[in-house]
Amino acid sequence: MDYPLIVDLFFVLLSVLAVVSGWRVFCTDSMVRASFFLLVSFIAVGLIMILLAAQYLGVAMFFMMAVEMMVMALFMVMFMMNPAGLNPMMMVHQHRFAIVAGAVSFVVLAAVALLAEFPDSPLPADLDPVTSLGNELLGDSMLIFESAGIVLLTTMIGVVVLSSHRGRFGAAEEGSMPPGLAPGGEPAGMPKESDEGGGHHHHHCH
């Protein structure tokens, strides 16, 4: 294969970027920064994929990972008790286990890279990778991909439907009891005293 030297140069630079930003994920003291360092790492990998002529997969990697990391960062902020993720916090824990697991997986992957025999079958020069990927995805394997896709989509929609009740204050009063504003208080967002309200105790002031 002959390709310009600049491709090699970019490959090296992008690999360094991917590794360094991946390493920074574990050094930073913020959930948001960690997520976006990971995103930078993925973008570098996506660019390497474009260099490897996997154009569609490389570009798709950008938007998949951008949305994914954005959502991940927000959910971490929501579930951690750190206001908006603005306070510094320790991002690594279980040090010993993490080090051992990291070392083992590095050795395994490095062994695969060094010991595996990669096939040496040059692709035809006029191959259009996007078209062939499209044919692969939507040709013989279409049934598998489509059914997996639809199952995933219905699962996601189902989860959203089950876990939310129209908006944040929306129609929750119909059939469900939102939590009280104060501990043990009146349910929030419930109609105060509806005249036909079933099962309510009515207080009449005279």
Partner 1 sequence: MAVSRLSRLAARARVPVFPALGMHGEPALHRLALTAGIELVDSPRHASLLLVAGGVPPDRHAALRRVHDQLPAPFATLWYRSEPLIELAGATRVDELDALPEALTTLHRELMQGQRGSSPRLLPDEPPNPWEGLGDDGHGGEGMMGGVPYGRPMVMNMTDDLRDGLTLDSLTVTLGPFLPMLPPGLSAEVTLQGDLVYAWTTQDAPYPTALGSVFFRALQEPVPIAELERARARHHLKRLHVALRLAGLERLALQALRLAFEPRVEQERVTKLRRRLGRSGFFRLTTTGQGRLEQGQARRVGGVAARAAGLEEDLRGRDAAYRRLGFTPILQDGGDTGARWRQTLAEIDQSLQLAHQAEREGAHTEVIGSVETPCGPWGEHRSEDASRLLDELLPGLEWDEALSTLASLDLAAVSEWPQETLQGSTEASGNGAESCEERRA
Partner 2 sequence: MIVNELILPVILVTVVLVVGAYLVAVIDEAIAGALGLPRAANAWMAPLARGAWLLTQQANATEAPDWRAWRLAPALYLALAAIGLAVVPFSPTLIPTDLVTGVVLWGSIEALATVVIFLHGWSANTLLSLIGAYRYVALGLSYILISMFVLIGVALPAESLQFSQVVASQAELWNVIRQPLGLPLFLIVGLGVTFWGPLNLADSRDLAGGTASAISGPPRLVWNLARSAMLVAFSGAAASAFLGGWLGPWLPGPVWMLLKMLAVLAVLLLIGRLVPRVQPERCVTLMWVVLLPLSFVDLIWAGVEALW
Site residues (CB under 8 A) for partner 2? 30, 32-33, 36, 39, 55-56, 59-60, 62-63, 66-67, 69-71, 73-74, 84-86, 128, 130, 167
Task: Specify whether the CB–CB gap between 91 and 34 falls below 8 A.
Answer: yes
Tell me if 33 contacts partner 1 by CB under 8 A.
no
Task: Specify whether the CB–CB gap between 53 and 133 falls below 8 A.
Answer: no
Tell me if 183 contacts partner 1 by CB under 8 A.
yes
26/75 with CB nearer partner 2:
75
Tell me if 4 contacts partner 1 by CB under 8 A.
no
Tokens of 21: 């930003």
* Options 169, 171, 193, 197; binder of partner 1; rule CB under 8 A: 169
* Options 1, 5, 6, 78; binder of partner 1; rule CB under 8 A: 78
Q: 83-122: string of b/e by CB count within 10 Å (b at 16+)?
A: eebeeeeeeeeeeeeeeeeeeeeeeeeeeeeeeeeeeeee
Q: How far is the CB of 10 from partner 1 (least distance, A)?
A: 34
> Looking at 14-22, 47-55, 126-134, 176-184, which segment touches partner 1 (CB under 8 A)?
176-184
> 181 touches which of partner 1, partner 2, none (CB within 5 to 8 A by kind)?
partner 1
Tokens of 148: 């997996």
| Residue 186 half-sphere exposure toward CB, CA atoms < 13 A | 9
Whose structure tokens read 């824990």?
93
Q: How far is the CB of 198 from partner 1 (least distance, A)?
A: 23
* Options 59, 77, 133, 137; binder of partner 1; rule CB under 8 A: 77
Alpha-carbon distances of 192 from 183, 185, 202, rounded to whole Å: 18, 13, 10
* Options 13, 88, 99, 100; binder of partner 1; rule CB under 8 A: 88
